[in-house]
């Protein structure tokens, strides 16, 4: 359908539109008009992505004079592919309406692991080794050597791509990663480099968060993006964590051991070059004396990770004299590694600010702040000089240099925390030194500054006023939308008591109470006997899950549960978990029924959908607070309080509730779906907790469901499941418009809009 939002003609590829999608587009348009940033919360299953894509592309079409580029960031490759597939559909629709004028170029960009088409390279197991394998075939010096000696291996796809020169472009169209690979294979061009090249010219780019937020990657991928861009962060409820992770480094014993090996290897290389090609080292030295840290424009293929510090904070000065010579630099690094090893030897938890830490490095290892700051650039230069292609082997020393550069650059918003062991497992020594960033606004600031509009959107952004404070920006629009439903297909409940009327909670002092453990067990058992197909359970942590599943096993409840359904468990091992998930789905498909035990904040909670029969019920056992004794969390809380005046309690509750909402939201992925959500902890009945849940859950949480015991919940579940199994009218009953046709939209007043907002 085609309709008008103020001066923009919106092309929407479906015949009907949900009222909330329309409202969403209107708000988005206002933000684009104002050239400002915005925050939009809208539940999953309402077609957020297509609304976004269709408005932004239509906006560009309506204003051909200042075209905006769309940079769409997703969290996973799967989401990226889905987004591009939707865009393809939209594009086809636009083309049938306005023909060539709708022509765009849209590409997805991911790592070589997902784009490479060279079978020899793809055999490598992880991302870093694929990168390194590719580099071994394509680094400029490798290619130079191969030109002289045709027996040396190169990548034929890259050679073809290079040969095609400026002809190597993608014709307009929408390219998913799969399309890119297919196109690359057909033409014999490397899809990865082709995509990286085309990113600058594309109208729509879809890639991962890191490509904008992590300076190490953004530095070489996103440098060229124009200011007139709209940046969208989809599923952005955890964006603050992505931001702080991008600027955090942790160093363990293995890192230091690896770094030592790297240093030895580099020393050997230097010795070798001294013997065979001394001129090369001298040339580097001379260049550094002239004050050029970097070698200027590097060939495309020689880029490795960029500077970990944010672009504005990188010094444009000459490299200090004491590390210009390769041997000297290695010396400095060796002293640094030694110093860090010493710090790891501690028996106590230590916390320090960057300033103190730098001072201590200076006194004990004799390395000053400026030198630290240049570690990254100097290492990069040295690795190029030494023509190192096994970049995956050298990640350890890279980590050390990242650490040094960051600690030398930032004085605020960071702290260094050394923990001799994980506090949850005090008997296993596992010392770790972490440079942790507390300020999410640091990493995202360049994005806000640089681009015209930044859209942060997700199904759960409540309370919506906290995000601007955490990220330190001023949205021109921030709104939350509900979901218009033809029937009450979600049924959230707060369970506060077991069948014996005793309260249940994962509060610290009640956690190991056997009564609570039993009540939780009985809840699951009873639910397993009335809920068909799949049930998903989320626990507050791995250790809590292990503990409670153990007790259930001991008192026989687990066995009883297994009479109804098979039980699968998420572990920290990705492969194992994937297997468990596969089998879980199979058990749901074939009617056996299954339960999946999983952990809030885990991989499953973030990325796996349990829609339809894969999740008819999700039980959130407890409130998933972060591990509050964690030193890093405490440091972050302190910083948030001092800098942004965000109270600890508020932040922790907010964070716990967004995780909980994220977990339970896994079961509803579309409007035709239905599912129940049980918040099993008495603390959820408190207003200050509950009110932080997103509106689309709250609006279905009826007062009568706020303080239930197991038997009451059971009763509600039975009724709900029966009711949902009845056939229903998908178009919505009389009076409640849940699908709008073009005609409806045209005569739409603001009434609907106001209805959709909170």
Q: Candidates 42-50, 109-117, 358-366, 747-755 — which segment interacts with ligand SF4 by CB under 6 A? A: 109-117
Chosen from ligand SF4, other proteins, none, partner binding at 685 (C-beta under 5 to 8 Å by type): other proteins
What does the per-residue mask of binding to ligand SF4 show for 155-184, with x meaning CB under 6 A?
x-xx--------------------------
Chosen from other proteins, ligand SF4, none, partner binding at 138 (C-beta under 5 to 8 Å by type): ligand SF4
Chosen from ligand SF4, other proteins, none, partner binding at 707 (C-beta under 5 to 8 Å by type): other proteins
Q: Is 685 in the site for other proteins (CB under 8 A)?
A: yes
- Residue 118 Cβ, how far from ligand SF4 at the closest point, in Å? 4
Chosen from ligand SF4, other proteins, none, partner binding at 503 (C-beta under 5 to 8 Å by type): other proteins
Q: Which of residues 120-149 bind ligand SF4 (CB under 6 A)?
A: 121, 134, 137-138
Interatomic CA distance for residues 112 and 116, integer angstroms: 5
Exposure string over 391-430, b if 16+ CB within 10 A, otherwise e: bbbbbbbbbbbbbbbbbbbbeebbbbbbbbeeeeeeeeee
Cross-sheet strand order for the sheet of 566-569? 566-569, 594-599, 534-539, 617-621, 675-680, 490-497, 708-709
Contact 442, 247 (CB under 8 A): yes
Three-class SS state of 432: strand
- Residue 201 Cβ, how far from ligand SF4 at the closest point, in Å? 19
Instruction: Kindly tell me which residue out of 75, 112, 181, 671 binds ligand SF4, with binding defined by CB under 6 A.
Output: 112
What distances in angstroms separate CA 28 from CA 25, 36, 48, 64, one per listed residue? 5, 10, 11, 18
- Residue 124 Cβ, how far from ligand SF4 at the closest point, in Å? 10
Nearer to ligand SF4, 220 or 758 (CB): 220
Q: Is 118 in the site for ligand SF4 (CB under 6 A)?
A: yes
Q: Candidates 112-120, 171-179, 337-345, 491-499 — which segment interacts with ligand SF4 by CB under 6 A? A: 112-120
Instruction: Kindly tell me which residue out of 120, 572, 736, 743 binds other proteins, with binding defined by CB under 8 A.
Output: 736
Chosen from ligand SF4, other proteins, none, partner binding at 137 (C-beta under 5 to 8 Å by type): ligand SF4
- Residue 464 Cβ, how far from ligand SF4 at the closest point, in Å? 41
Instruction: Kindly tell me which residue out of 703, 749, 750, 754 binds other proteins, with binding defined by CB under 8 A.
Output: 703
Tell me the two tokens of residue 749: 């007043």
Chosen from other proteins, ligand SF4, none, partner binding at 727 (C-beta under 5 to 8 Å by type): other proteins
Contact 350, 417 (CB under 8 A): yes
Q: Is 668 in the site for other proteins (CB under 8 A)?
A: no
Does the CA dihedral 25-30-35-39 come out positive or negative?
negative
Number of residues that bind other proteins (CB under 8 A): 61
Bridge partners of 17?
Answer: 740
Tell me the two tokens of residue 597: 């035990």
Instruction: Kindly tell me which residue out of 159, 533, 570, 673 binds other proteins, with binding defined by CB under 8 A.
Output: 533
Interatomic CA distance for residues 521 and 500, integer angstroms: 13
- Residue 137 Cβ, how far from ligand SF4 at the closest point, in Å? 5
Q: Is 708 in the site for ligand SF4 (CB under 6 A)?
A: no
- Residue 301 Cβ, how far from ligand SF4 at the closest point, in Å? 8
Interatomic CA distance for residues 586 and 592, integer angstroms: 9
Exposure string over 575-596, b if 16+ CB within 10 A, otherwise e: eebeebbeebbebbeeeebbbb
Three-class SS state of 488: coil
Interatomic CA distance for residues 71 and 205, integer angstroms: 5
CA atoms within 13 A on the CB side of 369: 12
Chosen from ligand SF4, other proteins, none, partner binding at 192 (C-beta under 5 to 8 Å by type): ligand SF4
Q: Is 754 in the site for other proteins (CB under 8 A)?
A: no
Q: Is 755 in the site for other proteins (CB under 8 A)?
A: no
Query: Quick count: other Cβ atoms within 10 Å of Cβ 312?
Result: 8
Q: Is 192 in the site for ligand SF4 (CB under 6 A)?
A: yes
Give the contacts of 468 (CB within 8 A, at least 6 positions apart): 39, 474, 475, 478
Contact 116, 82 (CB under 8 A): no
- Would you give the DSSP letter of residue 662? H
Interatomic CA distance for residues 283 and 292, integer angstroms: 12
Q: Candidates 15-23, 189-197, 521-529, 745-753 — which segment interacts with ligand SF4 by CB under 6 A? A: 189-197
Q: Is 391 in the site for ligand SF4 (CB under 6 A)?
A: no
Q: Is 683 in the site for other proteins (CB under 8 A)?
A: yes
Interatomic CA distance for residues 54 and 450, integer angstroms: 24
Nearer to ligand SF4, 184 or 665 (CB): 184
Q: Is 114 in the site for ligand SF4 (CB under 6 A)?
A: no
What distances in angstroms separate CA 337 from CA 254, 410, 411, 428, 601, one per listed residue? 12, 20, 21, 23, 33
Query: Contact positions toward ligand SF4, by CB under 6 A?
Result: 112, 116-118, 121, 134, 137-138, 155, 157-158, 190, 192-193
Query: Contact positions toward other proteins, by CB under 8 A?
Result: 488, 496, 503, 505, 507-508, 529-533, 564-565, 588-593, 612-613, 616, 623, 625, 628, 647-650, 652, 682-683, 685-688, 691, 699-700, 702-704, 706-708, 712, 715, 718-719, 721-727, 729, 733-736
């Amino acid at each position: 359908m085609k309709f008008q939002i103020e001066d923009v003609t919106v092309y929407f590829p479906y015949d009907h539109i949900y009222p909330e999608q329309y409202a969403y587009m209107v708000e988005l348009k206002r933000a684009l008009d104002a050239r400002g940033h915005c925050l939009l919360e809208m539940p999953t299953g309402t077609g957020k992505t297509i609304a976004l894509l269709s408005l932004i592309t239509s906006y560009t079409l309506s204003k051909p004079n200042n075209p905006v580029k769309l940079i769409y960031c997703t969290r996973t490759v799967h989401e990226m592919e889905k987004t591009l597939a939707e865009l393809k559909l939209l594009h086809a629709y636009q083309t049938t309406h306005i023909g060539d004028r709708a022509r765009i170029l849209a590409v997805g960009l991911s790592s070589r692991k997902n784009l490479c088409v060279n079978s020899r390279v793809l055999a490598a197991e992880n991302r870093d080794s694929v990168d390194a394998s590719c580099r071994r075939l394509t680094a400029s010096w490798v290619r130079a050597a191969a030109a002289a000696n045709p027996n040396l291996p190169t990548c034929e796809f890259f050679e073809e791509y290079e040969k095609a020169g400026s002809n190597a472009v993608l014709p307009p169209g929408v390219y998913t990663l799969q399309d890119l690979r297919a196109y690359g294979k057909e033409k014999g061009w490397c899809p990865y480099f082709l995509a990286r090249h085309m990113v600058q010219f594309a109208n729509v780019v879809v890639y991962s968060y890191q490509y904008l937020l992590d300076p190490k990657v953004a530095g070489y991928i996103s440098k060229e993006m124009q200011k007139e861009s709209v940046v969208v962060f989809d599923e952005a409820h955890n964006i603050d964590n992505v931001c702080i992770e991008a600027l955090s480094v942790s160093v363990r014993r293995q890192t230091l051991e690896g770094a030592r090996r790297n240093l030895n290897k580099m020393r050997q290389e230097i010795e070798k070059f001294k013997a065979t090609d001394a001129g090369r080292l001298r040339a580097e030295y001379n260049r550094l004396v002239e004050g050029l840290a970097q070698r200027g424009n590097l060939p495309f293929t020689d880029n490795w990770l960029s500077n970990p510090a944010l672009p504005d904070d990188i010094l444009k000065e000459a490299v200090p004299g004491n590390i210009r010579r390769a041997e000297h630099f290695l010396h400095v690094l060796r002293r640094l590694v030694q110093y860090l090893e010493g710090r790891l030897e501690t028996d106590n938890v230590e916390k320090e600010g960057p300033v103190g830490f730098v001072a201590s490095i200076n006194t004990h290892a004799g390395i000053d702040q400026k030198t630290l700051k240049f570690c990254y650039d100097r290492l990069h230069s040295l690795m190029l000089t030494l023509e190192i292609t096994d970049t995956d082997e050298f990640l350890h020393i890279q980590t050390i240099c990242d650490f040094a550069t960051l600690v030398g650059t930032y004085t605020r918003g960071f702290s260094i925390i050394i923990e001799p062991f994980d506090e949850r497992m005090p008997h296993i020594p596992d010392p770790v030194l972490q440079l942790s960033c507390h300020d999410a606004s640091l990493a995202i600031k360049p994005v806000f500054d640089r681009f015209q509009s930044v859209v942060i959107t997700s199904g759960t952004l409540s309370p919506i006023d906290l995000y601007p404070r955490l990220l330190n920006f001023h949205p021109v629009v921030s709104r939350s939308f509900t979901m218009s439903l033809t029937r009450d297909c979600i049924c959230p409940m707060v369970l506060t008591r077991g069948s014996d009327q005793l309260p249940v909670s994962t509060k610290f002092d009640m956690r190991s109470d056997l009564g609570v453990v039993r009540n939780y067990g009985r809840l699951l058992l009873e639910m397993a006997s009335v809920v068909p197909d799949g049930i998903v359970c989320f626990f507050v942590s791995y250790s809590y899950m292990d503990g409670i599943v153990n007790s259930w096993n001991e008192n026989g409840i687990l066995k009883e549960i297994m009479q109804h359904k098979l039980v699968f468990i998420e572990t920290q091992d990705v492969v194992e978990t994937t297997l468990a998930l596969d089998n879980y789905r199979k058990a749901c498909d074939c009617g056996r029924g299954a339960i999946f035990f999983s952990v809030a904040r885990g991989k499953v909670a973030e990325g796996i959908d349990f829609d339809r029969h894969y999740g008819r019920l999700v039980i959130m056992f407890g409130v998933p607070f972060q591990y509050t004794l964690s030193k890093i969390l405490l440091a972050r809380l302190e910083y948030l309080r001092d800098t942004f005046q965000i109270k600890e309690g508020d932040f922790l509750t907010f964070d716990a509730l967004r995780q909980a909402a994220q977990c339970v939201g896994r079961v509803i992925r579309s409007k035709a779906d239905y599912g129940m959500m049980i918040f099993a902890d008495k603390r959820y009945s408190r207003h200050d907790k509950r009110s932080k849940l997103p509106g689309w859950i709250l609006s279905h949480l009826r007062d009568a469901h706020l303080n239930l015991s197991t038997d009451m919940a059971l009763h509600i579940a039975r009724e709900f499941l029966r009711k949902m199994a009845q056939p229903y009218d998908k178009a919505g009953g009389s009076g409640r418009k849940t699908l709008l046709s073009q005609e409806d939209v045209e005569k739409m007043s603001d009434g609907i809009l106001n209805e959709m907002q909170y």
